[in-house]
Structure 1
Amino acid sequence: MRAAIYVRLSRETEESTSPERQRAACEALCEARGWTVVAVEEDIDVSGFSRGLERPGLQRILQRLAEFDVIVFYKIDRLARSTVDFAEIMKLSERQGVALASATEPLDLTSSMGRAMAKVIAVFAELESDTIGMRVSNAHEHLRREGRWTGGRIPYGYRVAPNPNGAGRVLEVNPEEAKTVHMIVERVLAKDSLMKIAVDLSKSDIPSPGHSSRQSTGKRSDSKQWYTTTLKSLLTNPQLLGQVIEDGKPILRTDGLPLVNRPPILDMDTWHALQDELKRRAHPGEKRREGTSLLRGVLYCGVCDSRMYAFIGAKGQLRYRCIGRLKHRQRTGVRGKCYGPSIAGKTTEAHITSQFLATFGGLPVVRMVEHAGEDFRPQIRQAEDALSDLEKDRYERGLFKGEDGAARYATQYAKLEERLASLKEKQRNAKPAGVEAVPTGKTYAELWEEADIAGKRDLLLDAGTFVQVAPAQKAGPRLDPSRFSIFFGEDGVIRRADADGKDVEAAVREVVEREAQEQAAP
Structure 2
Amino acid sequence: MNIFIYSRKSVYTGKGESVENQVEMCKEYISDKLPNAKQAEISIYEDEGFSAKNTNRPQFQQMLKDLKRIRPQYVICYRLDRISRNVSDFSSLIEELNHQNISFICIREEFDTSKPMGKAMMYIASVFAQLERETIAERVRDNMLLLARTGRWLGGTTPLGYTSEKLQEVVLDGKLKTACKLKENPGELSIVSSIYEKFLELCSVSGVSKYLIREGIGTRNGNMFSLPGIKEILQNPVYCIADEEAWDFFRKHHADICFERPDCSNRYGLLSYNKRDYRKKSAPRQEMDQWIVAMGKHKGVVSGKKWVTVQEILKSNIPTGKKPSIMHNSYSLLSGTIYCSQCNSRMFAKQRRSKERISDERSQKSYDYICNSKLRAGTDLCNCFNLNGRQADNMVFESLLPYMNENKNIFLLLDKLKREIQKQIEKDPCKVIEDKIKKNTGEINNLIRTLSHDNLGEAFISRVNEKISELEGEITSLLEEQSRLKNKAGSYEESSLKINQASHDLISVRRIYRIMTLEEKRTLIKLMVQKIVWDGKKLHVYIDQ
TM-score by length of 1: 0.45
